[in-house]
Structure 1
């Protein structure tokens, strides 16, 4: 929620709330490194899939179609099938990684009325129509507003970011509470060990 960006319809540069062009925070080096690594894994997945299919086909022909696949162990111990399944997973995941690494940009060019909008859960007052009735359109078009205008309609800070900032501001309090809980736990462990020793002494006295 904190990185609102859009691109104008003429295909201009990346812009913020106010429409002023800003420098992107996305590293081109990191983006294309992710793309290349995923591309290498994509090729490896395709190669593994091809080898697995060839090995299974060869085994099928040698057994005259009598490859036994009755139990889960038959599937696990069949190396060619393991290669096929692993190859498919690597192929699909790395292909998705290539798309995600290459196409990280965001556009507000959708013809839908939801363009440049955010979920109604981000709205400061999602029930501004009437009490108890949620206005699911309260976040429509807010990414085209200025920062000041948008902050009056929606929460411009993400939940995790807000929690992180709060934790940093109250770091000593959180550390003190955590230390206190840890000391109490250590005290309980010490008392438990002491009680265990006393019980053992009592048992030895009874045995005597």
Structure 2
């Protein structure tokens, strides 16, 4: 088993989150530029996001675990698979990487480096959707690791593609990505004012996911049929 030191793990987390956000924001800008059809634009935003997750988890997972998400890092810290100190610096790297990703996307499309979003995303349905999105993401990760670890990149990518469409919030499910998206006044943006509700819902959904899956994935004994 390969073991990487903390600086390399932090770079992997920052780089992965940056590329994820650049894909989310950049594909949203491209989609909005190419079509006025909202459904087609969402599809153009969805597929690249799921695809890049498969790539990033595959190539960076062996280095850092490929969290790219403070809610996921929290879950592994609560499972005692990550120390509190390491978890905190993971989160800082993810947030910093997300901001770099937003800047990168803006520069590629000749937009201001950062631009506070005006897109309203608030209300009970949106928050509930984010809780469900984060719950499902954690369930996918934990069950995937338990039963089919090699498939986790694909499982996560496919789950996010699905969750873009079955949740009212289009499944941010990631506090670092939500923060980064508050700095882009484009298709994928979210008002900074709406961040607390989204982040709270994401963290709560992730913790419920951990509680449910910890029970569900713990067999009482080995039963042979």
Q: TM-score range by the shorter chain?
A: under 0.3
Structure (1 or 2) with the larger CA radius of gyration:
1
What TM-score do the two structures reach when normalised by structure 2? 0.22
What TM-score do the two structures reach when normalised by structure 1? 0.23
Task: Point out which structure has higher relative CO (alpha carbons under 8 A, 6+ apart).
Answer: 2
